[in-house]
Amino acid sequence: MPRLAHILTKDELDEFDYPPILKQESKALCFILNNQVKTKINQLRTATSKVGFVLQYGYFKACKG
């Protein structure tokens, strides 16, 4: 990640490298998919894209980003 080191601050790099550790209750809340999100997932073609989308969705929901 040399490029990121030129863009992000040290604190931002640490936050990027160490995602939040979620408890079971938090995981359940972060990965609840509403109808709008489900529609978006169904528009994706591959299983890999769908899984990647869900993981990113949960991550950003957990980070409130």
Q: Tally the domains of the chain.
A: 1
Q: Give the number of other CB atoms < 10 A from CB of residue 30.
A: 16
The alpha carbons of the chain give a radius of gyration, in whole angstroms, of 14
Query: Does 65 map to a domain?
Result: yes
Query: Does 13 map to a domain?
Result: no
Query: Does 56 map to a domain?
Result: yes
User: What is the model's pTM?
Assistant: 0.70
Please give the chain's pLDDT, 65 residues, in tens.
Answer: 467 678 888 888 888 788 888 888 888 888 899 999 999 999 999 999 999 999 999 988 888 75
Query: Does 9 map to a domain?
Result: no
Query: Does 8 map to a domain?
Result: no
